[in-house]
Amino acid sequence: MDLFKTLQTLTETPGPSGQEAGIAMVIMEMWRPLADEVREDRIGNIVAVKRGKGDGPRPRLLLAAHMDEIALMVRQIVAYPSEKEGAEDEQAHGFLRVSRVGGVDLRHLYGQQIVVHGQRNLPGVIAALPTHMLPPDRGDKPYDLDELVADVGLPLGELRNLVSVGDFITFRQPLRRLLNNRVSGKALDNRASVAAVTVALDYLQKREHSWDVIAVATVQEETRLLGAFTSGYAEQPDLAVAIDVTFGKGPGAKESHLFELDGGPTLGLGPNVHPGIHEALKSAAETLEMTVHVEPHARASGTDAFGLQVARAGIPTGLVSIPLRYMHTMVETAALRDVRRAGRLLGEFAAQLDADFLEKTARKMMEAD
Amino acid sequence: MKELIEKLVSAYGPSGFEDAVREIIRPEVEAYADEIRVDALGNLIVRKQGDGSGRRVMVAAHMDEIGVMVTHVTREGFLRFTNIGGVFVHHLMGSRVQFADGTTGVVYGEKLEDRSKVHPLSKHYIDVGASSREDVPVAVGAAAAFVGPFEQQGELYIAKSLDDRIGCAIAIAALQRLEATPHDLYVVFSVQEEVGTRGAQAAANAIEPEIGLAIDVTGTGDTPGAAEMAVELGKGTAIKAKDRDMIAHAGLVQLMRQRAGEAGIPYQMEVLEPGSTDARSIQIAGAGSAAGAISVPCRYVHSQSEVVHAGDVENSVRLLVELLSRPIDL
Amino acid sequence: MNDLLQKLTEAVGVSGDEKQVRLLIRDLIDGHVDEWRVDALGNLIALKKGSGASGLRVLVDAHMDEVGMMITGADSDGTLRFEAVGGISPPALLGKVVQVGPKQLPGMIGARPIHLLDAGQRNRNVKIDDMRIDIGAKKKEEAERKVSAGDRATFLTRYEESGRVALGKAFDNRAGCAALIELLRGEPFPFDLYAVFSVQEEVGLRGAQAAAFGVRPDVALVLESTPAYDLPNERDVSPNVVMGRGASLYVMDAGTIQDPRLVSHLMRTADDNNIPYQIRQPGGGGTNTAVIQRAGGAVSAATIATPTRYAHAPTSMINLDDFGHVVQLAQAALRNLDAAVLQR
C-alpha cells in the first residue's frame, strides 16, 4: 500500500463537517476491496464490515475515524463599494463574509487559499484590509470574522449567481513530504487516522480474526461528535476504538506531556477509556514490539471515544492517537511511520480478540486488583 | 391566525412550567391527530400517520419561554432571582414579570455607580409590593415570565415570547391545513427548549425520527449596527444552513430550497452565529436524523418586544405544508 | 459511629476508577437485593423486586465516584505532575495530603515557603500546572516504578464524628450512596426498584446516561450531596442551603428542572411526616438527574441531597441528622409513590 499516495488522496479531497459526501465516496471506494460490505448509514457515516472467521453470531469491534475536516461557510455576500453608496451590481466587487465550521483558528486565516463550493468550485483566498486602514483603536488583535473576507475575484452580480449563503468553503493545501519521512498538509486531522484504519483493514487481509471488524468513517466530529454518538447507537458494537490525532511536541507546544513525532502512537487512559481495552491495546503493541505512549486524559478525550462510550447502555471504548504538530492549521505535520504504526496496532489488536475477551474484561471489573 | 398568536404569546409558560400553553394548543390540534399524548416532561406529541410510503418525521416547536426563578426572599420582602434560559441583563431594569398566580413584579437593580455599565443578574431584584418576607405571595422556586403584551402594527406582530409561540402557531396552522401526508409525522410541541433543547431531546430519543425539523425564530441583520447576517424581516421564510450548534443536513436544505422555489414561496438562507434550536437534539438522537429548520426572522429575540412579519409567518406555514405533503427523498 | 459513612467515605474511587467502591458497595448490599450487574462503564445496577402492588419502574441513583487527581508524569526530581479529575479549586489542593495510586501511597502537595515569596507571589493563587505531588522519591525513575501515568489520587482524610457533625472526604457523593444502601436495607417497595450506583458523574454525568438508557424507568430519584454555603456573607442574598436545616430538595439547577409533580410530592410527604427540609437555591450546579430525565425518552425525575460544607475539598462536613432526614424522606416518598402523583 502506497501510504503517501493514500494520505494524499484523503487530505486533498474536500469533506467539511456537514458536507462529507466527497470524502465519503473516496473512502467507500478505498475500503470496498478490503471489506465484505460497505455502505453509507442514514446520517452519512461510511460503514465497512469485515467479517471474522467462524460461524455467527460473532462479537463486533467498531473502529471509528472521523472523516470530516474543519472549514468555513458563506454567511453573507458583501460588496465594494457598498450598496449604500448606490453601486450597481455590475460595477461592484463581491466578497463573502464567512462563519466557522469546527474549531478554526482565526489567527492564521489571512492569506490562506480556499475553494468556495458554489454552483461551481471557485478558487480564492482569505483576505482583509491591512491594519493601518482599519480603525486605530482596534489594537493589535487578530482579524475577526467581520474584517476577513473570502475573495474569489468576481463582480457582485456574478458572485450572487454562483454562490449562496450556506455554501461551504474548504481550505486548499496539497500534501507535501518533509525531511525524515514526515508529511505536511491540511486535514491530517483526521485523514491520517482514516489512512491508519485503511492500513488496519489491509493488515487483516493476511491476519486471521474471529471478531467482526466494523470500520466507520464518522461525520461531524469537529462540530459535535455526531457520527460517534449515532454510529455507536446504530451499530451496537461490543467494543469500540476511536482513532484520532493528538498534540505533537514542537514549536509553540513544548510541554513535557506532549508527544514526539515518529515516536509511536499514544493510547488514551482515563475515564473516557475502558481500562481493559487500554491493556489489550498495550498487549498488541508488545506483540508487534512497537513503542507506544500512555496519554492520560483526566476528563473527556475530545474525540469520537466520548460519543461512543455512552451510546445506548454504554460501550467499552479505547483510544489510539497519532501525534500531530500544528493541529487545525493548514500545515499539520505528522510522521508517516506513526500512521502506519497506528494502523498495524489496530489490526493486531483486532486479531487478538477472542471469544472470551468480553467475559474476562467484565469479570475484571469486579475483581480486586 | 392572529387571534391564536395573541392567545399563545399572552400565556404563562417559562421552561419547566408549560401547562397553560399546552392547554391552549391541545384543543387546536386534537381533531387533526391520529394519536395524541403528553410525555413525562410535558411535551405534547401529535402523531399523524402517513400512508407508509414516507419517512418518520419529527417537527418541533417549543412552548416554553425564557423567565426567572426566585432564589431568595429578603427580610424586607424583595425577591432575588436567577435566569431560566437566555435572559439578557440589558433587558431587566424596569421590566415587569408575572408569576403563575398572576402576581406582577417589577424588576430593578441596586444603585449603579457608573451608569454606562450594567449590573450582573445577582444585583437585580423583583419588587412585588410586599412590606416584609411574610407578605410575599410567592416562594423560593417560583417561576415568572416577562410581561410584553401583543400588538399588531401594519404587517408586524410585536410581543414577548414570539420565540417560540409563533413556531407553535405555525405548526398548528400547518396541521390544520395539511390535507394528506405520506409521512409518519410527529409534531412535538416541546418543553424546556430555552434551557437546552431538553424536551426535544427526550421526545426524539423516544420517537427516533429519520427527518427532523424545528420551527423556531432566527435573528435578522437588518437593524442599525446589527451583527452581519443575511436574514431580513419581510423577505420570506428562512431556511437554516447552520447555527451555533448544528449544521443542517445539506440534502434536506437543498430539498427545502427546491420546494420553496417550485411553490413560489419567498425564502432566504440563514446562517446564525449565536443560538440554536430543537433541531440540534433531533439530529443526534438515536441513530441520527437529517435535520434542519424553518426559521421565522425575528428582531430583538429574547426581549419583551420581539418583532416578526406576518408575511414571513404565512410563508413559513406554506413551506412546512409543502414539505410535509410531499415525499422527502434525500 | 456511622459505620456505613466511614467505610464509604474512606474508600477510594476517583471518576473512571471506581472499582474499590463498587466492590465495597456490592458487599454492603449483598442479601438486600435480588439481582445485580455491572455494565460496560462500571455502573453497579441492582434490582430490589417490589411487592407487586405497583407496576411503576423506579430508578434511584447515587454516583460512586469522587473528584480527585490523575498523575500525568514525573519530573526529573521525582515529584509527580497531575491534573484535576472533576472540579477542584487550586487553593483546596495546595499544601494538602493525598493518597496516590492503587497502593495508596501518601503524597504531599507542597508549596514554596512564605518566607521566600515576594508580594506578587503572595497575592496570586498557584496554578495546578505548577503544583507537584511529593511521594518522597528522589528521581524520575524511582517515581515511575511506584506510580504510573494515569494513576489516580485523592485526598487522604479519615472519617470522624463530633457531636452531630461528621468530617471526612467525599461526602459528595458517598452520602448519597449510603442513603441508597439504607433504602435497599429496608423492606421491599410496592414497585421494582433499580438502584444505580453510577460512575463518572463528576466528569460529565457519564455513567448515569448509559445506566438510565439500560433501565428505562418511569420515575427516577437522585440522591446527592449539595453544597451548603452557610458561612458569613455581608450581602442578604445568602443561598438557602444551611447545614442542620434538613434534607435539601432541588427545584432547578443548571442541568435540570425537576418534575414539579415530584417536587410537590416530596414536599407534601415531608410535611405529612414532619421531616425537616429546605429548598436548594435554584440555578447553578448539575446532577445525574439531567441525563436520567432525557436519556431514553422522557422520565419524571427529582433530586434530594444532604447539605455538605466544603465538597470537592480535603475535609467536608455534614450534619448526621440532615443525612438521616434524607433517608427518611426518600423512604417515605417512595413508599407512597403511585401513579396518582404523576397525574396532570
Q: Give the pLDDT score at A85.
A: 61
Q: Give the pLDDT score at C269.
A: 98
Residues of chain B positioned with their CB less than 8 A from the CB of C342:
40
Q: Give the pLDDT score at A290.
A: 98
Residue tagged active-site, from B18, B28, B65, B193: B193
Q: Give the pLDDT score at C239.
A: 66
A103 CB-near residues (< 8 Å, 6+ apart): A70, A222, A328
C-beta of residue B41 within 8 angstroms of C-beta of residue C298: yes
Radius of gyration (C-alpha) of chain A in whole angstroms: 22
Q: Give the pLDDT score at A212.
A: 98
Q: Give the pLDDT score at B65.
A: 98
| Global ipTM | 0.91
Return the SS3 of A291: coil
C-beta of residue C322 within 8 angstroms of C-beta of residue C243: yes
From C35's Cα to the closest Cα of chain B, the distance in A is 27
Query: What percentage of chain C reaches a pLDDT higher than 70?
Result: 98
How many Å apart are CA B163 and CA B303, to the nearest integer?
Answer: 10
Q: Give the pLDDT score at C238.
A: 62
Per DSSP, what are the bridge partners of residue C131? none
C-alpha cell of A155?
463582480
Radius of gyration (C-alpha) of chain C in whole angstroms: 21
C-alpha cell of C178?
449510603
C-beta of residue A106 within 8 angstroms of C-beta of residue A143: yes
CB of C118 within 8 Å of any CB in chain B?
no
Q: Give the pLDDT score at A83.
A: 65
Return the SS3 of A88: coil
Q: Give the pLDDT score at C311.
A: 94
Domain ranges of chain C: 3-66+169-342, 68-155
**Chain A residues within 8 angstroms (CB to CB) of chain B:** 17-19, 21, 41-43, 73-78, 97, 99, 101, 146, 164-166, 220, 223-224, 226-227, 229-230, 233-234
* Overall average pLDDT of the C316-321 stretch: 97
Residues of chain A positioned with their CB less than 8 A from the CB of C68:
none
C260 CB-near residues (< 8 Å, 6+ apart): B16, B17
A17 to chain B: nearest residue by CA? B247
B126-179 per-position pLDDT tens digit: 999 999 999 999 999 999 999 999 999 999 999 999 999 999 999 999 999 999
Q: Which of A196-205, A339-348, C93-102, C231-240 has the lowest mean pLDDT?
A: C231-240
Residues of chain C positioned with their CB less than 8 A from the CB of B16:
252, 257, 260
Return the SS3 of A249: coil
Give catalytic status of residue A221 as yes or no: yes
**CATH class entry, domain A71-170:** mainly beta
Per DSSP, what are the bridge partners of residue A49? A37, A214
Q: Which of A359-368, B35-44, B195-204 has the lowest mean pLDDT?
A: A359-368
Best residue in A239, A366, A367 for a mutation probing chain C (most C CBs within 10 Å): A366
| Residue pLDDT tens, chain A, 369 long | 899 999 999 999 999 999 999 999 999 999 999 999 999 999 999 999 999 999 889 999 999 999 999 999 999 999 987 766 665 666 789 999 999 999 999 999 999 999 999 999 999 999 999 888 888 898 888 999 999 999 999 999 999 999 999 999 999 999 999 999 999 999 999 999 999 999 999 999 999 999 999 999 999 999 999 999 999 999 999 999 999 999 999 888 888 789 999 999 999 999 999 999 999 999 999 999 999 999 999 999 999 999 999 999 999 999 999 999 999 999 999 999 999 999 999 999 999 999 999 999 999 999 987
Q: Per-residue pLDDT for C220 more than 70?
A: yes
Task: State yes or no: cis peptide before C173, omega within 30 of 0.
Answer: yes
CB of B286 within 8 Å of any CB in chain A?
yes
Per DSSP, what are the bridge partners of residue B58? B186, B212
Q: Give the pLDDT score at A369.
A: 76
Closest CA to A5 of A191, A179, A189, A171: A191
A238-264 per-position pLDDT tens digit: 999 999 999 999 888 888 789 999 999
Per DSSP, what are the bridge partners of residue C61? C196, C222
C-beta of residue A247 within 8 angstroms of C-beta of residue A323: yes
CB of C267 within 8 Å of any CB in chain B?
no
A82 CB-near residues (< 8 Å, 6+ apart): none
From C102's Cα to the closest Cα of chain A, the distance in A is 8
* Overall average pLDDT of the B107-118 stretch: 93
Locate the DSSP E strands across chain A: 37-40, 46-50, 60-66, 71-80, 93-101, 113-117, 121-127, 149-151, 168-171, 176-178, 182-185, 212-218, 239-247, 266-269, 293-296, 317-324, 332-335
C-beta atoms of C237 and B75 within 8 A: no
Residues of chain A positioned with their CB less than 8 A from the CB of B250:
18-19, 21
C-beta of residue B26 within 8 angstroms of C-beta of residue B172: no
C-beta of residue C109 within 8 angstroms of C-beta of residue C132: yes
* Overall average pLDDT of the C110-115 stretch: 88
**CATH class entry, domain B2-65+160-325:** alpha beta
Q: Could you say which architecture CATH assigns to the domain B67-146?
A: Beta Barrel (2.40)
C-beta atoms of A257 and C150 within 8 A: no
C-alpha cell of A344?
498495524
Closest CA to C194 of C296, C59, C50: C59
C161-175 per-position pLDDT tens digit: 999 999 999 999 999
How many Å apart are CA B165 and CA B152, to the nearest integer?
Answer: 15
* Overall average pLDDT of the C258-279 stretch: 97
Best residue in C241, C294, C337, C342 for a mutation probing chain B (most B CBs within 10 Å): C294
C-beta of residue A122 within 8 angstroms of C-beta of residue A154: yes
C-alpha cell of A149?
473576507
How many Å apart are CA A40 and CA A47, to the nearest integer?
Answer: 6
SS3 sequence of chain B: CHHHHHHHHHCCCECCCCHHHHHHHHHHHHHHCCEEEECCCCCEEEEECCCCCCCEEEEEEECCECEEEEEEECCCCEEEEEEECCCCHHHCCCCEEEECCCCEEEEEECCCCCCCCCCCHHHEEEECCCCCHHHCCCCCCCEEEECCCCEEECCEEEECCHHHHHHHHHHHHHHHHCCCCCCEEEEEEECCCCCCCHHHHHHHHHHCCCEEEEEEEECCCCCCCCCCCCCCCCCCEEEEEECCCCECCHHHHHHHHHHHHHHCCCEEEEECCCCCCCHHHHHHCCCCCEEEEEEEECECCCCCCEEEEHHHHHHHHHHHHHHHHCCCCC
C-beta atoms of B242 and A19 within 8 A: no
* Overall average pLDDT of the C291-307 stretch: 96
C-beta of residue C15 within 8 angstroms of C-beta of residue C66: yes
CB of C23 within 8 Å of any CB in chain A?
yes
C236 CB-near residues (< 8 Å, 6+ apart): B72, B74, B75
> Vertex B281, ends B275 and B283: CA angle to 5°?
105
C-beta of residue B313 within 8 angstroms of C-beta of residue B235: no
> Vertex A232, ends A228 and A237: CA angle to 5°?
135
C-alpha cell of B273?
452565529
Q: Give the pLDDT score at C236.
A: 63
**A171, A172, B171, B323, C30 from A112: Cα distances, Å:** 7, 8, 44, 39, 64
C-beta of residue C94 within 8 angstroms of C-beta of residue C51: no
Per DSSP, what are the bridge partners of residue C227? C308
Cβ count near B17 (within 10 Å): 25
C-beta atoms of B286 and A77 within 8 A: no
Cβ count near A14 (within 10 Å): 21
CATH of C3-66+169-342, one of 3.40.630.10, 3.20.20.70, 3.30.70.141, 3.30.1360.120: 3.40.630.10
Domain ranges of chain B: 2-65+160-325, 67-146
Residue tagged active-site, from C66, C182, C201, C224: C201
From A158's Cα to the closest Cα of chain B, the distance in A is 18
CATH of A3-69+186-364, one of 3.40.250.10, 3.90.226.10, 3.40.630.10, 3.40.50.720: 3.40.630.10
From C153's Cα to the closest Cα of chain A, the distance in A is 11
How many Å apart are CA B70 and CA B12, to the nearest integer?
Answer: 16
Query: How many contacts does A have with B, using Cβ atoms within 8 A?
Result: 79
A246 CB-near residues (< 8 Å, 6+ apart): A259, A266, A295, A321, A322, A323, A324
Query: What percentage of chain B reaches a pLDDT higher than 70?
Result: 100
Q: Which of A176-180, A287-291, B277-281, C234-238 has the lowest mean pLDDT?
A: C234-238
State CA C344 to chain mean position distance: 32
How many Å apart are CA C190 and CA C213, to the nearest integer?
Answer: 23
Residues of chain C positioned with their CB less than 8 A from the CB of B139:
279
Residue tagged active-site, from A20, A69, A221, A235: A221
Burial of A29 from C-beta contacts in 10 A (0-12 / 13-18 / 19+): exposed
Strand order in the sheet with B151-153: B151-153, B156-159, B306-309
CATH topology of domain C68-155: Elongation Factor Tu (Ef-tu); domain 3 (2.40.30)
C-alpha cell of C131?
503544583
Q: Give the pLDDT score at A165.
A: 97
How many Å apart are CA B68 and CA B141, to the nearest integer?
Answer: 10
How many Å apart are CA C5 and CA C62, to the nearest integer?
Answer: 14
> Vertex A28, ends A26 and A34: CA angle to 5°?
120
Give the ranges where A46-179 is alpha helix by DSSP (H).
156-162
C-alpha cell of A65?
475515524
Q: Out of A74, A101, A146, whose CB is closest to B247?
A: A101
Domain ranges of chain A: 3-69+186-364, 71-170
Chains interfacing with A (3 or more CB pairs < 8 Å):
B, C
C-beta of residue A246 within 8 angstroms of C-beta of residue A323: yes
